[in-house]
Amino acid sequence: PNRVGPYGLLQPLADVLKLLSKESYKPEAAVPVLWAIAPALVILSATATLAIIPFGIHTPALVGVLVMLAKIVLLICFFIWVRATLPRLRYDQLMSLCWKVLLPLATLNVLVTAVLVVVL
């Protein structure tokens, strides 16, 4: 069953028990020490990334961070869309477009925004 308890409230507990009781799979060529500490390194890097983002009641809104993440997602979607639409366009050509067109546009965006903030 994929639901445990009323409304699936005990499902996380069932998932943890299943995870702990499963047999561990380790590839033959894996380095044992790295295989053992890899999950901790992933958690550490994710936590370190979240540690620099200011959360709390006294911090300003995270609108800037969310806008930046939205722009990154839009750029990735643009990459996927262009690659699917024009299959002959290679990724190095797409990166060249980013360096020669999109990066100068982004720099111009920063400069225009700075001027508008100072003037207005």
Give the integer Cα–Cα distance in Å for 41 and 59: 28
3-state DSSP assignment of residue 62? coil
**Range 24-48 average pLDDT:** 85
SS3 content of the chain, % helix, strand, coil (to 5): 70, 0, 30
Comparing 11 with 24, the larger pLDDT belongs to 11
**DSSP structural state of residue 27:** -
Q: What pTM did the predictor assign?
A: 0.36
Q: In the chain, pLDDT over 90 holds for what percent of residues?
A: 17
Looking at residue 7, its pLDDT comes to 78
The kind and range of the H/E element at 54 are none
Looking at residue 77, its pLDDT comes to 86
Looking at residue 13, its pLDDT comes to 86
